[in-house]
Copies of this chain bind each other. A is one copy, B any other.
């Protein structure tokens, strides 16, 4: 799509939901401001939606609504994809790119799955694909990684990138709620969806981890390269034990570039209450970056919500509109490195494992023997805490046994936990938390 310099740059918006409607609002209400900042006028030329009759916002002119999504993709200079999901989003984005339009998207699942295909298509067609809102909502993290830190070497990133799980863990911490209760509460308040699987099992965070790793390490990391654990096994007892040790439990997206290779993982971890990430509360997100020269950085803000996400989307639109006005393109997504993926065997950490045990003599010795046999060194043991759970099949008392290990490799730890769970005196599901140092 080319056009002469006098006409406005045409913006096509796919999707008129929570983020889409707020994006339209900013584009329409702030059109004059934005044109100043771009140096050229912009115009929202269409809003594609499946149900035009249901779209009712004072700032969206009814005549802009269309069900012809593919058609809109071919008559815009910038296409904003806010449909979500893999298909038909992928097809529409490719249609836009092939028609010479640049793309702004907030679709983390799309990028984590089809990123390389889309980045390549954009490069071939000399257009840009921007996606600030795909990681950390309103937080500028993609741009700093693509541009500010481009002269540095990022070694690792730790992100609280899912507001739903952070809200749930926060409620469990401040109110002593158990997981199920906190989840129900989050659903009632609209912080968790009716089907919360994607959030609580860590899949949403995993998509963001894949994007973060690709940007940080200039090597392709897709969703299938991310190992994922969610927060469903975490109990109020785990949280209470963490609090007693001046730690908090957070679901982290962790990407690292070490000698063993690149890893991208999502897991719940214990972090010290003085760590900057520990104070990230409720539905806020934050990404902590370690780089060789810059050292520690943290980016904090709203990870979701209509207006905050729209702010990031419109920031991208302005950047891209400037490029179009100048006839240039932004930085591509460099994936010139083909770094090895770190094998799971190379993953080492300290772990806090909580078992539920029958309160009778010899249990600690039996459990400790299993750790000894597997070569996992124990750093601390706590058998004081009474659990809130019971074992219906056992009429004696149930106790918690909490074991914190020294650094050990993860597979061995998991084998050890499996062995311990075979003991008759161990019941329930153990929880396994990494301890961040």
Give residues in A with beta carbon < 8 Å to B. Answer: 22, 26, 30, 33-34, 36-37, 39, 132, 138-140, 143-144, 147-153, 218, 274, 276, 279, 284, 291-302, 305, 307-308, 310-315, 317-319, 322-323, 326-329, 331-332, 334, 336
Contacts and interface: CB of A to CB of B under 8 A. Distances in A.
Contact of A293 (B144, B311, B327, B336): B311
A359 to B, nearest CB: 39
B317 A151 contact: yes
Contacts of A150: 34, 37, 314-315, 318-319
Give the oligomeric copy count. Answer: 2
A293 B158 CA distance: 25
A302 B310 CA distance: 29
Contact of A328 (B293, B295, B328, B332): B328
Contacts of A322: 331
B315 A295 contact: no
A336 B147 contact: no
A140 B152 CA distance: 12
Contacts of A302: 294-297
A151 B326 contact: no
28 contacts: A22-B293, A33-B153, A36-B218, A140-B149, A143-B143, A143-B147, A144-B144, A147-B318, A149-B315, A150-B319, A151-B313, A151-B315, A151-B317, A152-B314, A274-B279, A276-B300, A293-B310, A293-B311, A294-B301, A294-B302, A295-B308, A296-B300, A297-B300, A297-B301, A298-B300, A323-B328, A326-B328, A328-B328
B295 A307 contact: yes
A39 B329 CA distance: 13
Contact of A329 (B30, B301, B313, B326): B326
Nearest to A299: B299
| In the complex, the 7 A-B pairs of residues with the closest C-beta atoms, listed nearest first | A151-B314, A328-B328, A140-B148, A293-B311, A294-B311, A297-B301, A138-B294
Contact of A298 (B301, B305, B329): B301
